[in-house]
Structure 1
């Protein structure tokens, strides 16, 4: 894994192919950065957040010309930050879904897989940004950590009111 900060960003058309594009983008960058330990969870989180942005993140329902922005940031403190921005200011909300439901589990999956996730205003004063943090497992990272979550995610206080701590990664 990198010992320096690296990031990659892509704008993806908000359509039925967006989740696949997000998965390919994440997998390619995580391979290049040597983040194999995080790849499966990170790719799934990218896919779920992108799908939510496509389904629920349009400023104008049915608009054809909108896009979502996916950004990956590897930080030297040992944290991968996944951010997805869309054009809707509406908050993401975990919801109950029945055992046979075909949708409604995206944010729930993110909450289970991520060490922490949150949302806040998007860049440029429009829409929202949903982010999730992943750390390598302690076994593969040599018990890495130590930096506070707030520092690891950039210390942006505007997200604190909407932050969600997920399960610990041991």
Structure 2
């Protein structure tokens, strides 16, 4: 499944609504921690694409079919900027610059790869019955590594 995203900040909310609507039938309940984390990751990655590239992007979502407890959910946002994600430190008063740090803390895996003339940033969440130790926010923990660094996707 995929959604084309225009370079407009209002598209971030539309992307979240679209992702929520895709949860039905996947076996992932809208109020379970995995769903909440997925929606936050959609918001962060689409925001990065919209804010830092000023170009259209494509949101791709791979969900399990039915209630599969050990399935992996994959989220990708492809844009037309070929610039790699660059780590940056966000000061305590900064209003931005923490998006990929959140992705790093919340996703089980994430990365990026060149795609056409641009790139694709992806992340995966493993659906399991027990929250993983040290996971952040929706999984109830928090990693100290998330406190010092932020990343910018441009």
Tell me the equivalent position of 1:132. 123
- Choose the corresponding residue for 1:103, options 96, 109, 127: 96
Query: Secondary structure of the equivalent of 1:117?
Result: strand
SS in 2 for 1:32: coil
In structure 2, runs of 5+ residues without a counterpart are: 142-154
By relative contact order (CA 8 Å, sep 6+), the higher-ranking structure is: 2
In 2: Cα distance, 1:25 partner to 1:93 partner: 28
- The residue correspondences of 1:129-168 to structure 2 (distance < 5 A) are 129-139=120-130
For the Cα contact (< 8 Å) 1:117–1:133, is it kept in 2?
yes
Kept after mapping to 2: 8 A contact 1:119/1:131? yes
4+ residue runs of structure 1 moved beyond 4 angstroms? 166-170
Distance 2:106 2:87 in 1: 14
User: Contact between 1:97 and 1:103, CA under 8 Å: does it hold in 2?
Assistant: yes
Structure 1 gaps of 5+ residues are: 1-7, 59-65, 141-165
Does residue 27 (structure 1) correspond to residue 20 (structure 2)? The answer is yes
Name the count of aligned residue pairs: 130
2:113 and 2:135 mapped to 1: Cα distance? 21
Higher helix share: 1
Superposition TM-score, scaled by structure 1 size: 0.68
Alignment of 1:47-126 (within 5 A): 47-58=43-54, 66-75=55-64, 78-122=71-115, 125-126=116-117
Separation in structure 1 between the aligned mates of residue 2 and residue 9 of structure 2, nearest angstrom: 20
State TM-score, norm by structure 2: 0.75
Compute the RMSD of aligned alpha carbons.
2.5
Is the 2:23–2:63 Cα contact (8 Å) retained in structure 1?
A: no
